[in-house]
Each structure stands twice: as structure tokens, then as C-alpha cells.
């Protein structure tokens, strides 16, 4: 069985030179050693740009019956850039349906994933992110009978439990002079480093196993 991951920078794979940024898709094989992982997630992509660049078509040329197509977007779909932007209940929903239909037409199994949460605390309280895009993903999973991994809900619960200070270790918070890729340091509450990528990959792997998809 092969697992194909469609998504953005939060799931993407990175080179050692780009450390410590790490996408959860990069770590998935650590928890699913019996599966072949094809991580096609790419930084900066929305459902719209992923499709327009032919990335799903490339997967369609390879995917086999019984394979899994993991679909996770929403970080870049709200972008004001016209080549990335989608509206939650129209173009975003329609684009996700294209991913679902492509998998099923090739006798593969689509799996929808909500995005990982953004780590944004205000006065000690973790703020919600992604708005209506979350509702669309959950709604589509229900009406199209697609397996859903609610990564947002589980990542939000984890970050909230860890709190403002401890949860920094999951995300791309690095001091100056530690990593060549970030000589001035970095304070990034969207992308993960190894600890966060491992935590979220484990959530995905356990959900796939519990749903008997693996």
C-alpha cells in the first residue's frame, strides 16, 4: 500500500540544510513502517494552485487500487493572491471534491484531514484559526462519506494542554545562531520543527490505524 500526501508546507518534506523545519508528512513513515509514503505536499500550495500545477494529475498517473490519498489544505486557501485564493463554501469545497473523485475513480481511498492549528496565544488563551475552511472539510467528509482525521481538533487540544511556553517546542521557534538556515532565529507559529512534526505524524498514523485504513 502507498500513501500519497497532498498538502502544503505543514506536511511537506525538507532537506537537512533547511533544518529544523519539518513537516508531519516527512515523519509519517516513522509510525507506519509497513507503508510506502509518497509525500507530495508542497510549500505554499492551496487546493487551487496544487491542482493548477498538475500535481494531482501526476499522482493519478501512479496511484493504484487500495492506495490512500491523504488530502490536507486550508493554510494557503485564504490567501489574497488570486492564483491561490479559494472561497470556503464554493471553490475550496469544489476543489476538495476533485481530490476525492480522483481517488475513487482510480479505486483508491480518499482521506480528508483538517489542517494543524496555528499556535497563537493571547493572554494565555489559544486562539482559533482557519474559520469556515474547517467546517467545509468536516461537512464534506460527512456528506461524501470520506474518512476524516481531525488534525485541527487534536493539534489544538495538544497545544492548549501544553500551554504557551511549552508548545513553542513543537513549532518553529529557534534562537539566533543555532541553525544555518535561520542565522537570525525564527518565531513561526504555523510551521513545525521535529518535535511537532513527530507529534502530528503520530496523530495521523494512529487515526489511520484506528479507522482500519492501514
* Span 17-38, pLDDT tens digits: 999 999 999 999 999 999 999 9
Whether the Cβ atoms of residue 67 and residue 3 lie closer than 8 Å to each other = yes
Q: Coil, strand, or helix at residue 146?
A: coil
Alpha carbons 49 and 83: distance in angstroms, whole number: 6
Question: Which domains are present in the chain?
Answer: 2-210 (3.40.50.1110)
pLDDT at 21: 98
Whether the Cβ atoms of residue 213 and residue 149 lie closer than 8 Å to each other = no
CA 146 to chain centre: 16
Global pTM?
0.96
pLDDT band at 196 (very low <50, low <70, confident <90, very high): very high
Record the cell numbers describing residue 173, joined without a space.
521557534
Q: Which of the 8 DSSP states describes residue 68?
A: E
CA contacts within 13 A on the Cβ side of 58? 13
Q: Coil, strand, or helix at residue 28?
A: helix
Amino acid at each position: 500500500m502507498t500513501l500519497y500526501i497532498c498538502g502544503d508546507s505543514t506536511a511537506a518534506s525538507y532537506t537537512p540544510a533547511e533544518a529544523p523545519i519539518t513537516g508531519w508528512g516527512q515523519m509519517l513513515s516513522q509510525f507506519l513502517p509497513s507503508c510506502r509514503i509518497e509525500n507530495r505536499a508542497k510549500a505554499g500550495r492551496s487546493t487551487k494552485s496544487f491542482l493548477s500545477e498538475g500535481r494531482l494529475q501526476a499522482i493519478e498517473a501512479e496511484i493504484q487500487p487500495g492506495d490512500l490519498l491523504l488530502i490536507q489544505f486550508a493554510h494557503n486557501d485564504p490567501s489574497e493572491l488570486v492564483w491561490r485564493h479559494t472561497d470556503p463554501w464554493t471553490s475550496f469545497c469544489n476543489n476538495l471534491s476533485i481530490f476525492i473523485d480522483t481517488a475513487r475513480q482510480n479505486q483508491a481511498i480518499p482521506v480528508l484531514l483538517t489542517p494543524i492549528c496555528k499556535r497563537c496565544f493571547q493572554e494565555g488563551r489559544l486562539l482559533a484559526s482557519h474559520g469556515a475552511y474547517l467546517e467545509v472539510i468536516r461537512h464534506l467528509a460527512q456528506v461524501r462519506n470520506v474518512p476524516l482525521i481531525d488534525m485541527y481538533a487534536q493539534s489544538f487540544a495538544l497545544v492548549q494542554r501544553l500551554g504557551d511556553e511549552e508548545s513553542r517546542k513543537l513549532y518553529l521557534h529557534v534562537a539566533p545562531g543555532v541553525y544555518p538556515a535561520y542565522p537570525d532565529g525564527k518565531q513561526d507559529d504555523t510551521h513545525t520543527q521535529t518535535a511537532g512534526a513527530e507529534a502530528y505524524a503520530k496523530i495521523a498514523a494512529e487515526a489511520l490505524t484506528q479507522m482500519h485504513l492501514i
